[in-house]
């Protein structure tokens, strides 16, 4: 019952907040423009396999769309101050709808960022059956990231369902090919305890990014 209540609150918050804010922005500033598209492969904490990303912006707020074989998601950025933003998020994971809020704090002109993301799903993804009665708290994603030029370093504490927490330490680098084209790359070291054993593995990703200065 507790998970069902939290799931409903999460879905209502996400879509009510997003729809109202989006409607206001469309009314006041409908000049949404394509900022970038990216095609990546490999594995990250949030994607696996071939992944497609689209970023739109109206100059004040941004909309991020992502799609791969198991996940489709929408992330809507609402900048409340120069250092604080709210993101209603939602999508489908293994054919199960999910939603939840994300909050970010920006410091030192954006060089240091923290991300606080939570999500609930209407059912258990591994069962691929939508059911509000079986709503669960699906993930918690807490990240701190420092960016230096085209390179970023981050640490993530991630909880997924009832699994033991994952500790992720990552390095990401963008190589600029031209003003509008770049190659993105990342390496992530993953540490997790499973059945009283400490497991380690490396994630990597490589992608191509097109930016549009319109």
Please give the mean pLDDT across all residues of the chain: 88
Cα 160 to Cα 119: distance, rounded to the nearest angstrom: 10
Residue 32 contacts residue 56 (beta carbons within 8 Å): yes
Mean pLDDT of 107-118: 96
Residue with tokens 């799609």: 67
Cα 58 to Cα 87: distance, rounded to the nearest angstrom: 15
Whole-number pLDDT of residue 202:
96
Mean pLDDT of 136-159: 96
171-195 pLDDT, tens digit each? 999 999 999 999 999 999 999 998 8
Give me the residue spans of the domains in the chain: 2-211
Mean pLDDT of 150-161: 96
DSSP class of 128: T
Is the model's pLDDT at 27 over the cut of 70? no
Measured between alpha carbons, how far apart are the two ends of the chain, in Å?
48
Percent of the chain whose pLDDT exceeds 70: 86
Mean pLDDT of 101-122: 96
Q: Which residues partner with 136 through β-bridges?
A: 121
Mean pLDDT of 7-23: 50
Whole-number pLDDT of residue 46:
80
Provide the pLDDT confidence category of residue 214 given band limits of 50, 70 and 90.
low
Pick one of 3.20.20.20, 2.40.160.40, 2.40.50.140, 3.30.300.30 as the CATH number of 2-211. 2.40.160.40
39-81 pLDDT, tens digit each? 999 998 888 899 999 999 998 899 999 999 889 999 999 999 9
115-140 pLDDT, tens digit each? 999 999 999 887 878 888 888 999 99
Residues 69-76: contacts with CB under 8 Å, at least 24 apart? 70/94, 71/46, 71/47, 75/102, 76/18, 76/21, 76/22
Whole-number pLDDT of residue 14:
52
Is the model's pLDDT at 212 over the cut of 80? yes
Statement: the pTM of the whole predicted model exceeds 0.85:
no
Is the model's pLDDT at 15 over the cut of 80? no
Whole-number pLDDT of residue 60:
86
């Amino acid at each position: 019952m507790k998970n069902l209540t939290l799931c409903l609150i999460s879905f209502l918050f996400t879509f009510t907040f997003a729809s109202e804010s989006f409607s206001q922005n469309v009314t006041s500033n409908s000049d949404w423009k394509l900022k970038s598209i990216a095609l990546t492969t490999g594995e990250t904490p949030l994607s696996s396999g071939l992944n497609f990303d689209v970023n739109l912006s109206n100059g004040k707020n941004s909309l991020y769309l992502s799609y791969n074989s198991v996940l489709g998601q929408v992330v809507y950025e609402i900048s409340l101050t120069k250092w604080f933003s709210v993101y209603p998020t939602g999508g489908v994971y293994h054919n199960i709808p999910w939603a939840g809020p994300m909050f970010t704090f920006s410091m030192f002109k954006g060089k240091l960022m923290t991300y606080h993301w939570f999500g609930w799903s209407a059912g258990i993804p591994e069962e691929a059956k939508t059911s509000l009665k079986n709503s669960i708290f699906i993930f918690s994603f807490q990240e701190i990231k420092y960016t230096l030029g085209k390179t970023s370093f981050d640490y993530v504490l991630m909880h997924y369902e009832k699994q033991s927490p994952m500790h992720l330490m990552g390095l990401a680098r963008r190589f600029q090919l031209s003003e509008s084209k770049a190659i993105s790359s990342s390496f992530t070291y993953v540490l997790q305890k499973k059945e009283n054993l400490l497991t380690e593995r490396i994630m990597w990703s490589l992608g191509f990014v097109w930016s549009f200065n319109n």
